[in-house]
Chain A
Amino acid sequence: MRAQTLRQYLSVHTWAGIVAGFALFVAMLGGALTVFHHEIERWEQPVTRHAPLSLAQTEQLAEMVRAQYPAAREQMGVVLPNHSPMPFAYWQQPDGEWMRARLRLNADGTASSLVTGDARPGLPNTVNSLHYSLSIPTYGLYLMGVVSLFYGMALISGVIVHLPRVTRDIFALRPGRNLKRFWQDAHNAIGVLSLPFHIVFALTGALLCLSLPLMMAFNVLTFENKLAPQFLQMTGAVPARIAPVDGKPLDLQAVLARAEHAAPDLETTAVAWSRYGKPDAVAEVYGEANDSLGVFGAVAVRLNDGEIVGQHSPGVRDTNHAVLSMIYGAHFGNFAGDVMRWVYFILGLMGAVLVYSGNLLWLESRRKRNAAIQPANLRWMAKATAGVFLGTCLGIAVAFVAAVVAPGATSLSIFVVTIVLSMLFAALSAPALAATGLLVATALACLAIPAVDAMFTPDNLVRTLANGDWVLAGVDLIALAGAAIFALFARATWRRARLGDPNSVWARPTASAQTTAQVMPHTPHK
């Protein structure tokens, strides 16, 4: 390939990576943790850790919502207790607003009232919404879809740029004085080795985030407005028209029994009712089948007599449903049991390292070799890298601590306050100080996770390990591993600040350099 073309792709790679990098890091880190959504959900709610709500209580929740909110009779879903220890109901109000409700539990485990609205988005939901929308309402989803496209572009151009040298350098990891080469080796190795998964993440991520705009574009441009009316039938299990029957709506247990009879391999996770109480009422039962890439399936049960009116599950569905389910399965990584979930967790973390190392490379390849004070754009990029990337790590770790210490506070506000403070700290201090300080803080916050678990809940790591409760122990153990890793990073960063090349944005600011900076605010390094 011509050198000019290669340079072209290199700059596409660099700019796609830099523009999308900050959002992409949050997406990767949040996505890795979201793999263990249900485990974290169990950990963060000490009340229901050992006594999840029952199916009867879930039905009680649905009945209370229907009684208080007539709109919920038209359309409402609940997550089942085997999928979430604290099931919640969701529905849309007549003004279009999505509502959520869960039971307010009394001390004796009974419930008499509802908690509605997103009064306290829990920890796993906060992490998940950071993952798919940066927690920005409405437009965050589309933003992350665009970020996924940038990510895809960075992958394609990265492969084109690095492929010629990949066969030679793939397993080369050359630590030593040349830090740029070390980071380059690490970046390339991670990128190339996990490339198939990254392609899957980028494509399915773009599809999941942009499904609505894409569907509208296809509807208008290619399918002559015939796609939109059929889209629900193409993606859901409920047929367009259901023959009405008289009768009383079946209860939750009976609906689940019918669905499980029709699709024995499906482990049910949620139920959505439509037109509850009407003759054509229907309940759509969602579930996961573990032995298929398209794990997600659904069964539609006519509510008044239990007749199966629609079904799509592995083996019983058309191409549209199969592909859709595969998109979900490939993105969520729950198609091959716990082993694949761990693989996805590691891949997500590696993806975060990939993005982070990309930023470090950007800085390394632009620094001035013979200047104590680096150009302002480099210093600010280094500050932003420390503040946003490491601030995200700190924010999530602090949110874990706060979930147990201050269960009344919302996880999102804890995260936002932490990351804003991190960014302020990074803006006001030298990059080396900011990075080291934030890494130390994150290590301490990770260390605090098992500590507060032991102090504020009846459980602790020793007890959960002794009981073989790997879900609860796992959260604490990963936090400890995180503390060790962040501490090592902090040590390396600080060593570099003191002992490394003094002509770097990551060097510790010396007294003389600071004086120079004050005397000459506009250093002549343009």
Chain B
Amino acid sequence: MWSRTFAGLVLGFFAAIAVCGAIAYMTPAGWQTAAIPVIALFPLVWLGLFAVVYASRTAARAWVGIGATTVVAWAALLLARTVW
């Protein structure tokens, strides 16, 4: 329980912020025009990822799952930032 909570709290935060940042960079008019909408989206994404963590069979799987999500999200953010 505590292990999952910690994973959702920390990794979930970093995954969600990267996803939202990536979305902002991918909007056609530039991230400046979408900054407030993606910040508004952030709590929803964070809580969503946070909640999914508890569905995993074991805490180790939860860490692997949310860890992989975080890595993918950051890759997407860095890619979106350089490409757009």
Contacts and interface: CB of A to CB of B under 8 A. Distances in A.
Contact of B77 (A153, A222, A319): A222
Contacts of A429: none
Interface stretch (A189-197, A213-221, A271-279, A281-289): A213-221
A222 B37 contact: no
Given A207-B39, A327-B40, A217 B17 contact: yes
A234 B32 contact: yes
B1 A221 contact: no
B61 to A, nearest CB: 12
A270 interface: no
Contacts of A234: 32, 35-36
A515 interface: no
B35 A156 contact: no
Contacts of A108: none
B21 A223 contact: yes
Interface string A110-144: 00000000000000000000000000000000000
B47 A153 contact: yes
B33 A319 contact: yes
Nearest to B38: A218
A12 to B, nearest CB: 6
B54 to A, nearest CB: 5
Nearest to A1: B55
A215 B54 CA distance: 28
Interface string B24-35: 100000011111
A203 interface: yes
A11 B50 CA distance: 14
B36 A320 contact: yes
A509 interface: no
A153 B50 contact: yes
Contacts of B55: 1, 5, 8
Contact of B17 (A206, A218, A321): A218
Interface in B25-67: 31-40, 42-44, 46-48, 50-51, 54-55
A105 interface: no
A203 B43 contact: yes
Contact of A320 (B4, B33, B54): B33
A9 interface: yes
A214 B47 contact: no
Contact of B36 (A5, A9, A156, A235): A235
A324 B36 contact: yes
A318 interface: yes
Contacts of A230: 32, 35
Contacts, number: 88
A221 B38 CA distance: 13
Interface residues of B, number: 31
Interface string A194-208: 000000001100110
A323 interface: yes
B51 A218 contact: no
A451 B60 CA distance: 63
Given A11-B1, A222-B17, A222-B18, A153 B33 contact: no
Contact of A214 (B1, B21, B24, B39): B39
B40 A207 contact: yes
Nearest to A219: B35
A320 B35 CA distance: 7
B11 interface: no
Contacts of B7: none
B33 A222 contact: no
B43 A152 contact: yes
A37 B42 CA distance: 30
A157 B39 contact: no
Given A149-B47, A319-B34, 8 more contacts: A5-B54, A12-B51, A149-B46, A153-B50, A156-B47, A222-B24, A234-B35, A319-B33
Interface of B: 1, 4, 14, 17-18, 20-22, 24, 31-40, 42-44, 46-48, 50-51, 54-55, 77, 81
Lowest 7 CB-CB distances: which A-B pairs, in order?
A: A222-B21, A320-B36, A156-B51, A323-B37, A206-B43, A152-B47, A323-B36
22 contacts: A8-B1, A8-B4, A9-B51, A12-B54, A149-B46, A152-B47, A156-B47, A203-B43, A203-B44, A207-B40, A215-B39, A218-B35, A221-B18, A221-B21, A223-B35, A230-B32, A318-B33, A319-B34, A319-B37, A320-B33, A323-B40, A324-B36
